[in-house]
Amino acid sequence: MLPTPRLAEMQLDEDQHASVYEMPGLRARPVWDLPALTQALEAAHGVIRAEYEGLRASGLQGENVRQQVPKGRWNMFALMEEGRWRRAACAACPATVAVLRALPLPICTSTFGYVYFSEIGPGTIIAPHCGVTNTKLRVQLALIAPETRGQCVMRVAGECVEYAAGRAFVFDDSFVHGVENTSEATRVVLLADVWHPDLPHPPRTAVPWQQLGIPPFAPDDSDTEPLEEHEQEEMRLVEHERGAERREGAGHGIEGESLSVLWMRAAGLVMSLLSFVLK
């Protein structure tokens, strides 16, 4: 078997490749400088790390991620998945959730949005891949990281970011990115998706969910937190716009869908297949 190539040896594409939906007109850069956002998380580093350690000690099971991991181990402990807060995990991390909900950029509470603690073990490589959309940015706060510089890094397109405990950074995961931990220690971060700052308010209503053929949220289940009042208002606006789109398309045949809607669905499917092949 051939050895797994080092991330530093890989040539990464420097273009955006959102696998589901790319909104035109949004500023695009691999790594962002948003000090108000990163400083808010860094100021809460101690309490967030303490709650992560309490969550781990509670016996709550995380998810072992196998996709995109050619070498090593990647575990995640979700606080929010596809826009829905996980009740049990959030109950164990109330201060962390409060910090996240008070960030200067709102959390991406939609099908596109995730919040989780991410662990990668010693020697782990997360292969280059890209996210689903450019309508959000992703912030990571390093809770535990190797003390020696350069041993744990993320490459985003043509840029390289080193992990350092207590430090946060923001990147656009619709650019190709990967992670490598060459140290003998486990790296732990809190990861959160926030809406792109160029989107209008409320941001969720800017995404054409009906055209994409996907719901604004994942299906509900018994282990999810109810929406806050401002999130409920955004959902009402989304549903109002979806109803208007359905009425406008009612005369186009094929269950009320216009040719442009069918084209968008087909394009999304093709992009998803290409993303799967390229991973």
What count of other Cβ atoms lies within 10 Å of the Cβ of residue 201?
A: 10
Question: What pLDDT is attached to residue 217?
Answer: 82
Side chain identity, residue 256 = G
What does the alpha-carbon distance between residue 144 and residue 65 come to, in Å, rounded to a whole number?
19
Phi, psi of 14 (to 5 degrees): -100, 10
pTM: 0.79
Instruction: Give the tokens for residue 211.
Output: 């055209």
pLDDT tens for each residue of 20-68:
999 999 999 999 999 999 999 999 999 999 999 999 999 888 899 988 8
What does the alpha-carbon distance between residue 157 and residue 134 come to, in Å, rounded to a whole number?
14
**Greater model confidence, 214 or 222:** 214
Question: What pLDDT is attached to residue 234?
Answer: 55
